[in-house]
Chains A and B, each alone.
Chain A
């Protein structure tokens, strides 16, 4: 009888003292909620920060392209041989929208092309790295589509007829088109196939060869990346 009473008292005492065992601090609810939202976005293939980063980048691409084409166009007007923007090479084989000859892109377009190549290189490096690490690529297919649009503009410009850029732009178009079609249902193997294609065609090596040292992306200039 006494033993039972003693056991009960001891158990009660243990329960009381055990309240201090790993006593939880205040729940950091807002901090954890933010982390949960980030994790869920990542798992769903949507990431806020990278989206902002790549959106800024895309705006940079568009801005550089517009400035480059504008400069090229101004040059062409200054040379007195300004064809309308819609003129096709077949209509006017000696000049184009950027004031370049069919075989010789203007300096402005070359700068734009180099910027584009540098951005594409960074994009593909990040993509490859994410695939290798089995992560959801932070760059959205939307970013690939932005780059693809720029790529097509350049392909249709004298840059696209320049042997130095032509084949690379074509291979780049293929890769960017593949990435732009990725979605949540894409299997890891399909992403690996894309990175294998990048490797087989030596796209990154050729990009690094084409891009002059010191070329920076607009995003880098803005300190975003």
Chain B
């Protein structure tokens, strides 16, 4: 691995000074950490409700229904966080990869 590192060291240094690279790392970090905070925040909020106010999740969906709020809320957490992975993967595979490709090409030019 390290021999690989030295081989590319020159190119790496060149890349770091590229403003597009700075933009790439800034955008990626912002998206990745916000989504992490969103998903974990949602999960911890849910756990707090489970522990502190379980009654909220135990409310019937409508009068006389035996289905409770907890069922759609739980399913929503799973589906929503999956959709967020979709959002990240799409952005990374288009926008970030384009930026990263441009950065690498410019470094070799």
Answer yes or no: are A and B bound together in one complex.
no
